[in-house]
Structure 1
């Protein structure tokens, strides 16, 4: 009687494994799959796997949700112990010591337990783990963090050692130390109009008035910040003093790259993009006037005669709205 009971149990287990494996590895698996969670939220998966009971989102779950320690299929088939031991982890994942769960590789030794068995934060294993290139070990030797995270004002290490002794720390190449001596920020963020230093020194008048903007940026006349060259004379105010859109300045300004002046001489627009209706055109309504071949992009041009009550620029029979 007992032997028969054991055989029945084993048969059920085997059938379950076969059923789940068949469904997971069957022909219904889809690459580049999109799972619609609602009318306006879509989850993109590199690979989708179906639940054996038809649950999940439209019957499927993301490959990365398979054997991740959380049941996504209603019957728990995606976390079936024996199946998870057989299923290899994705290239971006790491297998927990119990062989039943895969976690993202970056979650290992990050100070937060992700594996049910806690193996991803095993002290001995984490101390022995080598940090990747340009990474540093926290003082507790258990976690790694990117070198740019040293003294950036935001603790990463559980022991806060990445933010310790910052007054004596020399910022890495391409970084600037805030006036309080406690924080390093990228030089690209210096005087850009956005506060990054907790003491606000990166946007202070004292610092920015003597600061030389890097290549590809233009300094506002009030010396308060640097803006990208492409924003100069584009018809929109980016400088606090609006100096980059000053009429006298823009009339003499030479447009960069493929940009051309609108008829009023005050605004630079991209010839190709504007004539393909990809970006707003000239504010003075001149559109593509000035091109050597104004009909080079006919799909964007609309005959004025076909639009009752609408007048295009003088002398044109068709124009780019």
Structure 2
């Protein structure tokens, strides 16, 4: 019985791999076993494996580092292409749920499933957007607006890599890509074979012939382009600079992984804060940690794409991992409910609902992750949510004045007009310096700082609700960040906040004035200090602007 079960397992694995090969549009297995083509050679047996198939007992459980174009599955040693996330060949581990990533500029975003596909997978005759949860064929129904300079434009609307032109494989389905080679090759990125075929420069002198007559292995590039390439010490092969320090050995002598990187990153690259790498801008804010310190997904993004674990800030996880039923952070604290942002109830592992933090970038489409569908913020071409003041972060309307901090500037709670009975929260709001000239009673803290009365220190607002208590004894920087206790009445009727229209008005003024002065004059008042604020700012605002703002105040007072 055990042998039969093992046989069925192998049969199923073979079946899945066969489907996988078709879905990735692998045209042929070239001589050689190259990482950039999606293959891995086992060090002990010499067996060549598909990189997404190296796991369990394959390659003697050999550790494989993923490239920038692969996603690292948790729990198993497996690297898969981004386009397989959420599919039956992805990293679901038998549990319900989909790993969602923001798509790169050079990828196609599936309309309903949110999968990120390489551009060549659009209009290729296969439905690649379909997942285990969503039936989506948008990749076969939509045309790409145009093909880039590195692509060949098929008459049926498909864009294929120029490297596929004149390679004896009919990729356009009508033979047009095999009629004649490209008129020219881009010398900065390509090598021209004797028959006219254009190859990527990193294929030259890599030990595997790609030109029809093997010319790419008989010749050597005169020199590497230092701004975009790195020369391997042993062979002189030129590889892309962003391959250096990525944990994957692309040079036979591993010289791309053992050097001390001290190069200056170009304008088309992002310099990792740890100094280890220069990564291409297209990899910035794509939901995957390429730097190793998450700086390309947090500090380098206007809107963070990953989440740091509260008990160990050196560990970061994809936002889709937070609140998914798995424990990825120390002590299982990886659901950032205490962190600012949009929150709603979400079914976790098809068992129960939890209040989860929803990534900001998922709030702009028609796909919902919330049980109450409150994340459809732009449904029917209207804005149905609310925004924080200083950073435009989107939150649900029900999150305003509910006793829980959801905005990094605390505007969703500290600017509420209603009288609060949450003593800790009001104490926090009253301990924040909003104007540098009026903080004498707060130990002369600077604008935008929190006064910690127990330690007599001033803290940056970034220390508020970060999961770490910085104010000993009182813990004023963390107490108001958890869900309100039962004895705290959370305001469900947010009419006063909606009527006030804080975000629209404040954002308009903030463009011409100092944000901290704005807080100082509006905080905890509705109109009186607002008018005083306008008078104070008269030297900066025209009479027409002031009159317009006063009209808005009158409307607010009567709404």
Q: Tell me, yes or no, whether TM beats 0.5.
A: no
Alignment TM-score, normalising by the size of structure 1: 0.42
Larger Rg: 1
TM-score normalised according to structure 2 size: 0.27
Relative CO higher for 1 or 2, CA cutoff 8 Å, sep ≥ 6? Answer: 2
